[in-house]
Amino acid sequence: MSKHRDSDGLYKQPGSHYWYGSYTDASGKRVRRSTRRTVKREAKTVLAGWRDKAARAAVGPQAQEHSFEDMMVAFLQHSRETKRPSGYTRDLVATARLRESFANVPMASITRAPVKAYMERRAGEGVTPASVLRELAVLSAAFNYVRFELEWPVDNPVQGRKPIPAKGRVRWESRERIDDLIAAAREEPKAASHLPDYIRLAVNTGCRRGELLWLRWSQVDLARGVIRLTATDTKTGVSRGIPLSDDAQKVLKHRLAERDRLCPGSPWVFCHLDGQRLGERITDIKKSFAGACRRAGIEDFRIHDLRHTFASWLVMEGTPLTEVRDLLGHTTVRMTERYAHLAPDNLKSAIGRLNRGDGAHPMMRRVPRAGASASEGDEDSGGDAPMGRASADLKNAS
């Protein structure tokens, strides 16, 4: 009688009631031993303990001396030097969440079991799978960085531990409600000079928050009516040109006139127009945007939803998805297909052509339908800094 194995590394021996476990020890040798457990769930726990112990022994004393903080400081320094400020900020935010579970934990102790426990804890807190996926991606990237770039003898425990990402959110508002939001933004005490312009430009260009808040006047060509984003300016690393509507040009001309009047040396489209930070880049609008939404009575509406609104309006006006893809800067049309359901009239016209036989195979046009005698009628501040800055950022992240 042959052994009965399963995908978990557990199997049954002929004539035994116990589950047996198979794993590789620290020296690379295959070990097979009895868990002395008859319940498979309990046997899994025993096997996981053996594997974790072997993994800790395999990485050696050098890795066991490094902690989670050591790894993240090194990774965040690399992130700060190689990524856009918005990307570095996302890594820092994810690190703050990871610290809640792994602070001061030796790297050798961060194995698959603790990673799984982290996923379960975050899910129990009501965090979406997409958010957990982003946090695990940062942890995985940190392990890969110290493993391949710094040559620390560690394995990546995140591999194979990815939750199913949530479906893309599509939340948009009508033109009338956006007008209400712009009016409410004009009443925001600390943002009246820039928030209305930001909202108008966002729904007329589809730019991401970071693309607008980091927008420089050197990228704006009012004569030709276009914004030019280079590969370093976009999330996807692909450059694109964004045509400007009449309303978008009005917004930019207004901001340029205010810039020239109050702080002519500022390179930023969205800069402070008064106060001690005159001319400096506006780095965040989250609080003021939330305040404007409350004032306008608009619920569950985020800054990124202005981008969804831009795309939704285009699709409802009959713009092909491939053109919407190019305007949004999506690398594939699959990302843009989330808006396809917003074009029911176009889909109905396509079915209408099928009913009429337009474009159908000639043979199909001659085949009537059963029972019929005739045809009937659609989601970043920063800069260069030494290792100490990344360490300080990590310490302050919470």
Encode the chain in three state secondary structure. Answer: CCCEECCCCEEECCCCCCEEEEEECCCCCEEEEECCCCCHHHHHHHHHHHHHHHHHHHHHHHHHHCEHHHHHHHHHHHHHHHCCHHHHHHHHHHHHHHHHHHCCCEHHHCCHHHHHHHHHHHHHCCCCHHHHHHHHHHHHHHHHHHHHCCCCCCCCCCCCCCCCCCCCCCCCCCHHHHHHHHHHHCCCCCCCCCHHHHHHHHHHHCCCHHHHHCCEHHHEECCCCEEEECHHHCCCCCCEEEECCHHHHHHHHHHHHHHHHHCCCCCECCECCCCCCCCCECCCCHHHHHHHHHHHCCCCCCCCHHHHHHHHHHHHCCCCHHHHHHHHCCCCHHHHHHHHHHCHHHHHHHHHHHHHCCCCCHHHHCCCCCCCCCCCCCCCCCCCCCHHHHHHHHHHCC
**What is the residue type of 154?**
V
Q: In this structure, are residues 291 and 188 in contact, taking their beta carbons and an 8 Å threshold?
A: yes
Question: For 128-184, what is each residue's pLDDT tens digit?
Answer: 888 888 999 999 999 999 988 888 888 899 987 665 555 567 889 999 999 999 999
76 Cβ neighbours under 8 A, 6+ residues apart: 88, 91, 92, 95, 390, 393, 394
Packing angle, helices 246-262 and 195-205, rounded to 10: 150
16 Cβ neighbours under 8 A, 6+ residues apart: 34
For residue 59, the tally of other CB atoms under 10 A from its CB is 19
Q: Which of 18-22, 46-50, 329-333 has the highest mean pLDDT?
A: 18-22
Question: For 317-343, what is each residue's pLDDT tens digit?
Answer: 888 899 999 999 988 888 888 888 787
Residue 397 pLDDT: 61
Res 258 pLDDT > 60: yes
Residue 333 pLDDT: 84
Q: What pTM does this model have?
A: 0.55
Distance CA 268, CA 213 (A): 8
Task: Retrieve residue 351's tokens.
Answer: 């079915």
Q: How confident is the model at residue 286 (pLDDT cuts 50, 70, 90)?
A: very high
CA–centroid distance for 291 within its chain: 24
Contacts 24+ apart (CB under 8 A), 62-66: 62/152, 62/153, 63/107, 63/108, 63/152, 63/153, 63/154, 64/106, 64/107, 64/108, 65/106, 66/106, 66/107, 66/146, 66/152
Q: Which one, of 175, 234, 236, lies nearest residue 203 by Cα?
A: 175
Residue 254 pLDDT: 96
Distance CA 313, CA 374 (A): 38
Higher pLDDT, 55 or 212: 212
Residue 257 pLDDT: 96
Res 57 pLDDT > 70: no
Res 378 pLDDT > 90: no
Measured in degrees and rounded to the nearest 5, phi and psi for residue 364 equal: -70, -30
